[in-house]
Chain A
Amino acid sequence: MKRSMYGRYGGQFVPEVLMPALAELEEAYDRYREDPRFLEELAYYMKDFAGRETPLYFARNLSEKYGIRIYLKREDLVHGGAHKLNNTIGQALLAKYMGKKRLIAETGAGQHGTATAMVGATMGFETEVYMGAKDVQRQHMNVYRMQLMGTTVHPVESGSKTLKDAINEALRDWVTNVENTHYLIGSVVGPHPYPMIVRDFQSVIGNEVKRQIMEKEGRYPDSIVACAGGGSNAMGIFHPFIEEKEVRLFPVEAGGCGLKSTAKEALHSASLCVGEDGILQGAHTRVLQDRYGQILESSSVSAGLDYSGVGPELAYLADTGRIRPCNVNDEEALEAFYELSRTEGIIPALESSHALAYVMKMAQSGELGELVVISLSGRGDKDLETVFGLKEMENREVCL
């Protein structure tokens, strides 16, 4: 298997202009991932800037209620409020070692954009972020945060005005400014080597869980549950457990308003569950598309999961049966958002609420076993307006 491929998935489907930059990035990554100075600096930022390691928290009230032992991997406590910083620290350091002066990024929920703005500020990059106009509206607190840290935010008006369109625009910028710019992709998507690099930097999540769960329980969990938009928090927590075959791995996608589609739009973002083989934004993966291969707009109450594609390695692992794709709908995710807030005093991101909702829904089924770790990928402060907006709407119908 070529290194750029995961089974038949992955690859580098990008304009010729970008091929040298991808080669340069891969080379730099191979060099610096073993470089003591790079690793020392990475460790420093991870600890003193990001605040790692994050706790593995035993959710006692939730466990009692559902009758299984539930742990939360507290990525919501990472600086900025989500796992996204793990990746941006790693890539920004790489960019620095490569001599790049400028960072660009796409963002959906604004968490990756914020995490990019943070490293951009502290490491001294000129930073610009592309964000779908719809996401600018529903996540505007994050827009302010990015701006405060000196980042320019470009609203993207094309297509569905969400994450996919932001990636298109970031790619167009990169094609134009590739010589001095690093494109800091925010998930395990895009052309090789991004899915590999992002997975590796996010694997800190799973590596910590491995140690922490051994200390607390003396064994590995029966299952690990993580939400999947592009799939970076999922791959980050799954990857160290891939060889531990007895640990069941569940990526939870956004079921939106049900797994149906109109001519141009899917009412969900469940590309692993119901997508088909296709090529989107640099990679062969599973894609929401029509019968001609036009990409369908996705939808979800959570901006960070609202994406028509998914990381190629997840597509591969789903085909092999190693991971078990599933989904919950908007309503279920919202219920979980309220429930974790009430029972544990932790307000989860709407993205992470999908993972929580799946556990709440399936706890009694036996499918998850007795000991479950949930990736709590982010905190929910950014979502308060969305949630309260929906609450004010009569009887909280999300899917009208």
Chain B
Amino acid sequence: MRIREKFAQLEEKKEKALIAYVCAGDPTAEATKDIVSALVRGGADIVELGLPFSDPVADGPTIQAASQRALDAGMNPDRYFELIASIKAGVPLVCMTYYNLIYKRGLERFASDCALSGISGIIVPDLPAEESDDLQTACRKHGIDLIFLVTPVTNEARMEKILGKTSGFVYIVSRLGVTGARADVARSTTEILSRVHTDVPKAVGFGISDREQAREVIAAGADAVIVGSAFVNIIASGEDVNARVETLARELKSACREGRN
């Protein structure tokens, strides 16, 4: 399913979107399948599946550790696409990974593998707009959304350029820093949302981990909340993972229904 169809569906139902991130292959590929099912049962509208990289500079300790567990368990791009092809989630799947893995596979082949296996969009945290033309060409050709990030320090000129490029949704980094659950949702969320003028859905991430935070972000005007480390922490605990993942997804999704402004 294309990301824009998903957002159109939600629009009809007057709901906002829950986008959940987990690292593929953490702790095993089999486990990831069950976790994705649990996320979708709980109400996740889009699932981001991290393709783990050895040197994830944009990630905090939680996702670094998840990437390492997945790599240790043998996850690699070949197995990643096999795993994706075997998942029948019924929601759009998004690949989040670092540029070297894409570059090494070949941009064209990577985009094609995404399309064939059932990935709808790609997020590359170390690929700024300036360096993205080639990947964008490959993604367009294969009908894959290339999703860009904006941050509190992105100025007007850059904002315009990035919003012109992003497709699927725009990933709004609500505060400076790496990924990871935080107690406070940045006050800068409201500020940055007021600067993002676009028809593309606005998804806010980095630091959101519970229902209250999700509600605040939706109330501030976001079309989606992105939650990663909070799920990954549950997976890392190894305890009652699927049930707890589902419960957290359900709580977060409820905020996406009520919190509507």
Closest residue on chain B to residue A160 by CB atoms:
B54
Which residues between 174 and 196 of chain B lie within 8 Å of chain A, taking CB atoms?
176-178
Does the CB pair B105–A292 fall under 8 Å? yes
Closest residue on chain A to residue B99 by CB atoms:
A279
Does the CB pair B58–A278 fall under 8 Å? no
Q: Does A280 contact B (CB under 8 A)?
A: yes
- The number of residues on chain A lying at the interface, defined by a beta carbon within 8 Å of a beta carbon of chain B, is 35
Which residues between 75 and 126 of chain B lie within 8 Å of chain A, taking CB atoms?
76-78, 98-105, 125-126
Does the CB pair A20–B126 fall under 8 Å? no
Smallest beta-carbon distance A172→chain B, Å: 5
- Chain A residues near B103: list those with CB within 8 A: 277-279, 284, 293
Does the CB pair A13–B126 fall under 8 Å? yes
For the side of the interface on B, what is the size category? 35 or more
In the bound assembly, the distance between CA atoms of A278 and B58 in angstroms comes to 18
- Chain A residues near B71: list those with CB within 8 A: 294
Q: Does B53 contact A (CB under 8 A)?
A: yes
- Chain A residues near B130: list those with CB within 8 A: 11-12, 19
Q: From A16, A177, A277, give the contact of B154 (CB < 8 A).
A: A16
Q: Does B233 contact A (CB under 8 A)?
A: no
Q: From B57, B128, B149, B153, give the contact of A171 (CB < 8 A).
A: B57
Q: From B100, B102, B173, give the contact of A17 (CB < 8 A).
A: B173
Q: Does B169 contact A (CB under 8 A)?
A: no
Which residues between 131 and 176 of chain A lie within 8 Å of chain B, taking CB atoms?
158-159, 164, 168, 171-172, 175-176
Per-position contact with A for B61-82: 1 when CB-CB < 8 Å, else 0?
A: 0001000100100001110000
Q: Which 5 A-B pairs have the closest CB atoms?
A: A293-B104, A176-B177, A294-B54, A293-B100, A279-B100
Q: Can you report 20 A-B residue pairs in the complex whose CB atoms are below 8 A from each other?
A: A12-B131, A13-B126, A14-B128, A15-B126, A16-B128, A17-B173, A17-B176, A21-B153, A168-B55, A175-B58, A176-B176, A178-B176, A179-B176, A279-B99, A279-B100, A279-B103, A287-B100, A292-B101, A293-B101, A293-B102
- Chain A residues near B129: list those with CB within 8 A: 16
In the bound assembly, the distance between CA atoms of A395 and B109 in angstroms comes to 51
Other 6 A-B pairs with CB < 8 A, given A13-B99, A13-B126, A16-B149: A13-B128, A13-B131, A15-B128, A16-B128, A179-B176, A279-B100
- Chain A residues near B149: list those with CB within 8 A: 15-16
In the bound assembly, the distance between CA atoms of A21 and B131 in angstroms comes to 16
- Chain A residues near B128: list those with CB within 8 A: 12-16, 19
Q: From B53, B77, B173, give the contact of A16 (CB < 8 A).
A: B173
- Chain A residues near B56: list those with CB within 8 A: 168
Does the CB pair A16–B162 fall under 8 Å? yes
Q: Does B255 contact A (CB under 8 A)?
A: no
With A12-B128, A294-B71 already in contact, the answer to whether A172 and B76 are too (CB < 8 A) is no
Smallest beta-carbon distance B156→chain A, Å: 11
- Chain B residues near A281: list those with CB within 8 A: 55, 57
With A17-B176, A289-B104 already in contact, the answer to whether A279 and B77 are too (CB < 8 A) is no
Closest residue on chain B to residue A171 by CB atoms:
B57
Which residues between 2 and 59 of chain B lie within 8 Å of chain A, taking CB atoms?
53-58
Per-position contact with B for A274-296: 1 when CB-CB < 8 Å, else 0?
A: 00011111101001010111110
In the bound assembly, the distance between CA atoms of A190 and B143 in angstroms comes to 32
Per-position contact with B for A92-136: 1 when CB-CB < 8 Å, else 0?
A: 000000000000000000000000000000000000000000000
Which residues between 277 and 336 of chain A lie within 8 Å of chain B, taking CB atoms?
277-282, 284, 287, 289, 291-295
In the bound assembly, the distance between CA atoms of A290 and B190 in angstroms comes to 43
Does the CB pair A278–B176 fall under 8 Å? no
Smallest beta-carbon distance A382→chain B, Å: 26
- Chain B residues near A177: list those with CB within 8 A: 176
Smallest beta-carbon distance B134→chain A, Å: 11
- Chain A residues near B148: list those with CB within 8 A: 16
Which residues between 14 and 56 of chain A lie within 8 Å of chain B, taking CB atoms?
14-17, 19-21
Q: Does B150 contact A (CB under 8 A)?
A: yes
Which residues between 133 and 176 of chain B lie within 8 Å of chain A, taking CB atoms?
148-151, 153-155, 158, 162, 173, 176
In the bound assembly, the distance between CA atoms of A81 and B33 in angstroms comes to 55
- Chain B residues near A291: list those with CB within 8 A: 104
- Chain B residues near A284: list those with CB within 8 A: 103
Q: From B57, B77, B100, give the contact of A278 (CB < 8 A).
A: B100
Q: From A11, A17, A278, give the contact of B151 (CB < 8 A).
A: A17
Smallest beta-carbon distance A38→chain B, Å: 25
- Chain A residues near B101: list those with CB within 8 A: 292-294
Closest residue on chain A to residue B76 by CB atoms:
A292
Does the CB pair A172–B57 fall under 8 Å? yes
Does the CB pair B100–A280 fall under 8 Å? yes
